[in-house]
Homo-oligomer: A and B are copies of this chain.
Amino acid sequence: MTDILSLLAERLPPSALREVEPRYLEEPRGRWMGQGAALVLPATTAEVAETIKACAETGTPVIPYGGGTGLVGGQLSESGPAPVILSLERMRAVREMDAQAGTMTVEAGAILADIHAAAEAEGWIFPLTLASQGSARIGGLLATNAGGVNVIRYGNARDLCLGIEAVLPDGTVMNTLSPLRKNNTGYDLRHLLIGAEGTLGVITAATLRLFPKPEATGAALMVVPHAEAALGLLRMAQARIGEGVSAFEIISRTGLDFLNEVGPEVKQPFDTPPDWMCLVDLGLSGGARPEEALEELFAEAFEAGLVTDGVIAQSEAQRQEFWALRENIPLANRRIGAVASHDISVPVARIPDFIAEAPGKLAEIGEYRTNCFGHLGDGNLHYNVFPMPGRTRADHETERGAIKRAVHDLVHAMGGSVSAEHGIGRFKVDDLERYGDPGKLAAMRAIKAALDPRGIMNPGAVLKS
């Protein structure tokens, strides 16, 4: 590794090369610890290219590093040769903003919340929205094709990106930055790098699609008697309000209990936490009034037996309270400490079946509490399994594998995905091998070998290295 360090020192300005700090080696749940030979903080695409070239010449692994918020270990390497950690954090400029057409080109290190602010300053929104938006960076969000709460309306990260600039594994810069909506000139390598989790190159910049800001927003929490009713409410909301439904989340009683048990302290809207409730978020234009639309939806759903109680936000502050409830559930989860977490999707119509059948599969293994919540509108649930009160994660170490297998087998049997929005990273490589289409896996390996013959780009992520 001395070779690579001296090469980097020779080719990069001193500001771009640092000792690895511990925070680059930790992951959000604190479960694994990575390793790093050097930390590179390039200021330009050319410096990224120099870094990758040096790594390619010496066969040194590189881990592209965004905000470090990934939940599947894509940003840290536990074993094998210590990698160069390539953090894009200094590259966060807005290179271009077209406020007429609604596009912006940003560098990969831009933090999502800053992109939100830059878009809103010009009267637009960039609709990718997720809990970690204060630290997640757009390069990582694209590399993992992040999802979040607004996919139902605006799509995943890949759907919000018109073009990318990237450094390929041999150090070549590929520039497909473009605001064009129609451009059929060759293979769409943008979509190949998006979601490849840094294994085929490093995204250094992206042209993003902005959307008109809805004139009025609104939200409601609606109590549903069971998951089937939640699905009925979703269909009814979409039939009545169409693309105005910006988010449709489901929250289970376990999540509300956890918040009561360990915090963070948030205002609970109902005296008794209901078994299931939905957070329905609207963004409307053209003079339409979200409160009215939600009232009418509630009335019709109540009539149909789909909802039993509800509260409609009377102010933006109250809407934010509803969202705080939703967004704090993952924090409460971490305080409790899950035995196993699952980021899964099934065809939307199968969600009630999944929720009905999964507990039986778990009961064959042991006794647990499950917190099931997430993006019902996209068929994406976070299905997290916790110890019973008085017990801890550590008590169940030996059961984790069986739990994951049981949940993932059920998801797979229902035509679902064992990684809906978090990606494969390192934690799910075996799952991909087990559940992935063999034809697709073979083609993935061939592409990886062709673009990265020395296997330097984030080795061990997505595919076995």
Contact = CB atoms under 8 A, between A and B. Distances in A.
A97 to B, nearest CB: 13
Interface in A326-381: 345-349, 375, 378-380
Interface residues of A, number: 84
A172 interface: yes
Contact of A184 (B242, B419, B438): B419
Given A187-B192, A187-B196, A421 B182 contact: yes
Contact of A168 (B178, B348, B443, B449): B443
A173 B439 CA distance: 6
Interface stretch (A131-139, A302-310, A429-437): A429-437
B101 A185 contact: no
Contacts of A144: 184
Contacts of A269: none
A33 B192 CA distance: 34
Residue of A185, A192, A241, A437 with highest tally of chain B CB at under 10 A: A185
A6 to B, nearest CB: 27
B439 A183 contact: no
A422 interface: yes
Interface string A225-255: 0000000000100111111000000000000
Contact of A185 (B98, B380, B432): B432
B186 A444 contact: yes
B178 A415 contact: yes
Given A186-B444, A421-B182, A437 B191 contact: no
B182 A188 contact: no
Contacts of A417: 178, 180, 182-185
Contacts of A212: 238-239, 242
A380 B243 contact: no
Contacts of A420: 180, 182-184
Given A180-B420, A421-B182, A443-B168, A195 B200 contact: no
A170 to B, nearest CB: 8
Given A101-B348, A181-B151, A182-B421, A187 B447 contact: yes
B462 A181 contact: no
Interface in A190-227: 191-192, 194-196, 200, 212
Contacts of A435: 185
A446 interface: yes
Nearest to A240: B286
Nearest to A444: B187
B98 A349 contact: yes
A34 B176 CA distance: 33
Contacts of A178: 415, 417
Interface in A420-465: 420-424, 428, 432, 435-444, 446-447, 449-451, 462-463
Nearest to A242: B285
A290 interface: no
A299 interface: no
Interface string A263-287: 0000000000000000000000110
A181 B379 contact: yes
Interface in A27-83: none
Count chain B CB atoms within 10 A of each CB in A145, A168, A183, A346 and give the residue with the most: A183
A388 interface: no
Contact of A180 (B194, B345, B424, B446): B345
Contacts of A260: none
Contact of A432 (B186, B241, B436): B186
8 contacts: A145-B184, A176-B437, A179-B415, A185-B419, A189-B440, A189-B443, A191-B191, A212-B239
Given A182-B417, A186-B432, A186-B462, 17 more contacts: A100-B348, A145-B188, A147-B184, A151-B181, A156-B182, A172-B438, A174-B437, A174-B443, A180-B346, A180-B416, A181-B345, A183-B345, A183-B419, A185-B417, A188-B192, A191-B192, A242-B286
Q: Which 4 pairs, one residue from A and one from B, show the smallest C-beta to C-beta distance?
A: A450-B450, A191-B191, A174-B439, A183-B417
